[in-house]
Amino acid sequence: LERTFIAIKPDGVQRGLISEIISRFERKGFKLVAIKIVVPSKDFAQKHYHDLKTRPFFDGLCDFLSSGPVVAMVWEGEGVIKYGRKLIGATDPQKSEPGTIRGDLAVVVGRNIIHGSDGPETAKEEVNLWFKPEELVNYTSNAEKWIYGVN
């Protein structure tokens, strides 16, 4: 099944939004297969956001991601990469729809509380950057047959 990397950024953690964010993914029917809380180094943040290194906000973005605890997670489910981005909402919270995580819970682009992988390649790359293989848990949840309607 498809997997994506989701991180609650330092603003989301400090604002007490960990359970709110986890619960939106959990209630949807996605399965949590890895989770930890870490303070990334600036060097690590630069690796995570390497695609954006030519952007003017890159340095501030990496300073911010490494400024405090981040909740790093891997979520699994059918279509979780694309739909996870839908749950998260547009990058700029001023443009995110109400009902999305950023739309409901954030106000400015530089403090948009959550990260989600933007495609299958980056999902693989980010899961491997943040987690060792043994930190990912394979299990069947009892709810799966009700979520997917198969045995």
Which of 20, 26, 104, 118 is in the footprint of ligand GTP by CB under 6 A?
118
140: tokens are 């069947």
Q: Which is nearer to ligand GTP, 34 or 88 (CB)?
A: 88
Q: For residues 94 and 112, is the Cβ–Cβ distance under 8 A?
A: no
Cβ burial 76-93 (10 Å sphere, 16+ → b, else e): bbeebbebbbebbbbeeb
Reply yes or no on whether 48 is catalytic.
Answer: no
Annotated binding site for ATP, which residues?
Answer: 9, 57, 85, 91, 102, 112
User: Beta strand pairing status for 70-76 and 31-38?
Assistant: antiparallel
Residues facing residue 35 across a β-bridge = 73
Which of 3, 115, 126, 127 is in the footprint of ligand GTP by CB under 6 A?
115
> Which one of 4, 13, 115, 117 is the catalytic residue?
115
Q: Which is nearer to Mg ion, 99 or 119 (CB)?
A: 119
> Does residue 94 bind ligand GTP (CB under 6 A)?
no
